């Protein structure tokens, strides 16, 4: 794996970002993609920020961004330059596939993701968020293990018992993989997961409250869909980690 030239190119491209976070969840329905988009947009208002949709089979960040994927065009010259959404640099496979599903199996998805990471020229960034499919599949593990020296895991959880228990297992897996730092964001909560004994292996960064109409607000590009102070807390801690 270490001799793969795609991996070396990916490391070179990602190394231009001050912080690179792989956004993870153990199950669907916890709002992982919403959190990734929300944090990326908020960060881009004062920082050089990037967002990559690494869900190659079913990308959805463009929906929350209110973008027609056919409008996403990349400049291609010895790689691709991210699409700009105001100050946010953005990459999604939906630019090529539109709304059609891309039928990739586990190993195929990992190979395709490695190809994409190898050719994206992010340029200097303060922070890059990589949204992933729900669960922990081959593509997640390939990304986490092969780029361990440069990426950091950011786990999204809700206050439900099912989410907490499954996230605790994910934290253990990441610890065993050698990750000394694991970030945790509580979504659709009120801060109740801070100090949760089962999640002590992660660094609690803050919470995003349940917000009716949040997806519609994001699609309309409004600036205050969630209390900016709460988002400032999370982003600041991501930059300090």
- pLDDT for 2: 55
Distance, CA of 194 to CA of 45 (rounded, Å):
27
Distance, CA of 86 to CA of 88 (rounded, Å):
6
Contact by Cβ (8 Å): 150, 10: no
**For the chain, what is the domain count?**
1
Here the tokens at position 88 are 């946010």
Overall average pLDDT of the 11-19 stretch = 93
- pLDDT for 113: 87
Overall average pLDDT of the 143-161 stretch = 92
Global pTM? 0.94
Overall average pLDDT of the 35-62 stretch = 95
Overall average pLDDT of the 65-86 stretch = 89
Contact by Cβ (8 Å): 49, 125: yes
Residue 64: phi and psi, rounded to 5, are -65, -30
Distances (CA, A) of 187 to 15, 54, 102, 184, 193: 29, 20, 28, 10, 10
Q: In which domain, by residue range, is 109 found? A: 5-240
pLDDT per position as a tens digit, 222-232: 888 999 999 99
- pLDDT for 78: 79
Closest listed residue to residue 238, CA positions, set 155, 136, 132, 160: 155
pLDDT at 187 over 80: yes
Contact by Cβ (8 Å): 157, 184: yes
pLDDT at 1 over 50: no
Q: What CATH number has the domain bearing residue 224?
A: 3.40.50.300
- pLDDT for 62: 95
- The residue with greater pLDDT, 42 or 99, is 42
* Confidence grade of residue 106 (pLDDT, cut at 50, 70, 90): low
Here the tokens at position 239 are 């930059």
pLDDT, averaged across the chain = 91
pLDDT at 129 over 80: yes
């Amino acid at each position: 794996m270490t001799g793969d030239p795609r991996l070396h190119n990916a490391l070179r491209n990602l190394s231009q970002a001050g912080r690179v976070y792989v956004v993870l969840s153990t199950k669907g329905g916890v709002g992982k993609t919403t959190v990734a988009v929300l944090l990326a947009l908020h960060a881009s208002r004062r920082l050089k920020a990037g967002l990559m949709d690494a869900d190659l089979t079913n990308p959805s960040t463009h929906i929350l961004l209110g973008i027609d994927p056919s409008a996403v065009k990349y400049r291609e010259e010895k790689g691709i330059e991210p699409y700009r959404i105001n100050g946010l640099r953005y990459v999604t496979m939906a630019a090529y596939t539109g709304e059609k599903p891309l039928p990739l199996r586990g190993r195929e998805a990992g190979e395709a993701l490695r190809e994409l990471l190898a050719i994206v020229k992010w340029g200097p960034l303060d922070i890059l968020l990589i949204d992933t499919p729900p669960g922990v599949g081959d593509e997640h593990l390939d990304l986490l293990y092969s780029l361990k020296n440069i990426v950091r895991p950011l786990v999204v959880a809700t206050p439900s018992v099912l989410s907490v228990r499954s996230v605790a297992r994910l934290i253990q897996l990441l610890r065993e993989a050698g990750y000394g730092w694991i970030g945790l964001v509580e979504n659709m909560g009120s801060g109740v997961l801070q100090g949760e004994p089962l999640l002590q292996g992660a660094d609690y960064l803050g919470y995003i409250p349940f917000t009716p109409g949040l997806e519609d607000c994001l699609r309309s590009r409004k600036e205050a869909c969630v209390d900016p102070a709460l988002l400032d807390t999370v982003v600041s801690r991501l930059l300090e980690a």
